[in-house]
Structure 1
Amino acid sequence: MKKLNFSGGEPFLKPKYLAELLQYSKTELQLESVSIVSNGSKIERKFLEKYKAYVDILAISCDSFNERTNQKIGRGKGTHVHKITQISQWCQEYGIKFKLNTVVNKYNWEEDMNVHIEHLRPFRWKCFQVLILENENGGNNTLRDAREFVITHNEFQSFIDRHQQHTCIVPEPNNVMMNSYLILDEHLCFLNCTDNDKRPSDSLLHVDIQTALKQAGWDQCAFVKRSGVYAWSKNNNSCGSASSDNRLDW
């Protein structure tokens, strides 16, 4: 294993445990890259200062730079953009790579974010087309119903075209994103999305990695196509694809 990403949920709801996991990943597992995805609301400067040596990448979810739009989406209570700006400054100060994740949806696909991206200067900006998994967030007795956020492929592409000047942008339409991630849940089961669901594999606590991987539904070609391999260590300052870096050849 070369890279591990802590996501959620919100990892910073449990900062003590998160810190232990970060330290273990870098010191015991000696991973090339350890990253976190957060909504930013619970991040404190003192945490980043104390554990900066164990974090290569901090990715913040940012769906809009208009707070009214953020509130429509359900992202924060009007202070999200200010907090993102703070975090980007802390990352620069502590040598952590700052990344943005944006879900392009019904409420933000027409937004022009160019000025803000230029100001924040993330080393990587992931832009996802909002994805509906029928048994996960597609209504019909699911815990969440995200169908109101759906956009067409052309609407997603128009957002990408509007921001294509930024070399850090990484577009992920539905057909690229759906099966290109290896996701482990809290029981150490891979989550298989191939049937519009998140069907768990056998747990790594009970079976070997090869057995679990066969149940994961992971599309290795799609992983490479979406630039899944890149300069992910903070010791490497490049932006975007790592195709020229032989150390990352698999």
Structure 2
Amino acid sequence: MLHLQSGEGAVRPHVAELVINWHITEACNYKCRYCYAKWNGAGRELLHDWSRVRNLLDELQAFFHPENAANPLRQHLSWSGIRLNLAGGEPLLYQDASLRVLDYVRSRGMAASIITNGSRFTGDLIDQLAPLVSMLGLSLDSADVARNREIGRVDSRGLLLDVDSTSEKLVRARRRNPALRLKLNTVVNALNHQEDMSPIIQALAPQRWKVLRMLPVVTSELAVSAEAFRAFVARHHALRELMCVEGNDSMSESYLMIDPLGRFFQNASSQRGYRYSGPVDVVGAERAFSEWPFSVDVYASRYRDALVVGR
């Protein structure tokens, strides 16, 4: 199932880190209408079984180790290290379990990061989290309260992300870990594509701003045209040095992703929904990796020119 399309004898691209995204839970306190964090399969989320979590992480560390010549990616790509990125849903709904995973990842010689909606940030959590991660990702789709409500970025109590408070927490995080890098993720959709987000992006001062076109994997609600997406990108041309722009084509079969049940999964451009491998901790990373679609060329093209990978 692995799509190895590089020509024979071609120079292998090199990335500083091979990033593996583990979506640890489908649960979230927000209800974004375009959400793609919906996976098929029955069973308890792996996060709640520490023995299986540890087995999963050990399998990933061994299989993706830069010196593992048996990894088929090595024929087409080289990398210096591994970073495990926790995502969701909202991973910080399970604060203790997330912190435990991040700490274990670091103990196994991998870097760690997390992407969150920021709603669970407290001073105490920031003090624990910041030293464990090399990159902190924050989902941010709008600076407008009404627009965030319409998108669904609001919890059951009607609370939204407080940008001023979040900015203070990010300052605290950077004090706790001066090497910490901040990444913002924005999903361009039918409700925010006309917005100018320059003021809030500049205020939060990230090292990277990932701008993604809404991907209709699970639903086409709030889908946005290619023309509207290009217009959003053009409107923020002054921030081009921060921006990492990804359209739908570059998001298909090009991420190393694991679902809450511990399976590699991938969105294929030719169909709705996801395709899955067996559970990594059960069948092993090598076998699981052979059971899913993945495009080395598209993956490498997203990272080839990045001085610091963190997409």
**Corresponding residue to 1:159 among 232, 238, 254:** 232
Q: Per-residue CA shift, 1:152-193, capped at 9, x if unaligned?
A: 111111111111222111001000012211111122111132
**Corresponding residue to 1:206 among 282, 291, 299:** 282
Q: Which residue of 1 aligns with 2:301?
A: 225
**Corresponding residue to 1:5 among 76, 85, 97:** 85
Q: Which residue of 2 aligns with 1:112?
A: 196
User: What's the TM-score, normalizing by structure 1?
Assistant: 0.82
Hey, what's the Cα distance between the residues in 2 that align with 1:123 and 1:36?
A: 15
Hey, what's the Cα distance between the residues in 2 that align with 1:103 and 1:15?
A: 24
Q: Per-residue CA shift, 1:206-249, capped at 9, x if unaligned?
A: 3232321122212221112223765258xxxxxx9xxxxxxxxx
The number of residue pairs the alignment matches comes to 221
User: Bigger shift: 180-189 or 58-67?
Assistant: 180-189
- 1:75 alignment partner, SS class: coil
Letter of the 1:193 partner, please give it.
Answer: N
CA contact (8 A) 2:84 2:112 kept: yes
**Corresponding residue to 1:63 among 120, 141, 149:** 141
User: What's the TM-score, normalizing by structure 2?
Assistant: 0.66
- Say if 2:166 is the partner of 1:92: no
* Highest RCO, 1 vs 2 (Cα 8 Å, sep ≥ 6): 2
Hey, what's the Cα distance between the residues in 2 that align with 1:215 and 1:64?
A: 38
Q: Which residue of 2 aligns with 1:182?
A: 256
CA contact (8 A) 1:67 1:81 kept: no
- Say if 2:122 is the partner of 1:44: yes
Letter of the 1:66 partner, please give it.
Answer: D
Q: Which has the higher strand share?
A: 2
CA contact (8 A) 2:183 2:206 kept: yes
Q: Which residue of 2 aligns with 1:245?
A: none
Change (3 A) 1:162 1:193: same
How far residue 75 of structure 1 moved from its aligned partner, in angstroms, is 0.7
Hey, what's the Cα distance between the residues in 1 that align with 2:189 and 2:88?
A: 20
**Corresponding residue to 1:132 among 190, 200, 216:** 216
Q: Per-residue CA shift, 1:4-24, capped at 9, x if unaligned?
A: 000011111111111111110
How far residue 82 of structure 1 moved from its aligned partner, in angstroms, is 3.0
Change (3 A) 1:204 1:222: same
- 1:108 alignment partner, SS class: coil
- 1:84 alignment partner, SS class: helix
Report % sequence identity. Answer: 27
| Structure 2 unaligned residues grouped into runs of 5+ | 1-63, 65-81
The list of structure 1 runs, each at least 4 consecutive aligned residues, that deviate by more than 6 angstroms after superposition, is none
Hey, what's the Cα distance between the residues in 1 that align with 2:146 and 2:89?
A: 23
Hey, what's the Cα distance between the residues in 2 that align with 1:121 and 1:84?
A: 12
**Corresponding residue to 1:193 among 237, 243, 267:** 267
How far residue 102 of structure 1 moved from its aligned partner, in angstroms, is 0.4
| Structure 1 unaligned residues grouped into runs of 5+ | 139-146, 234-239, 241-250
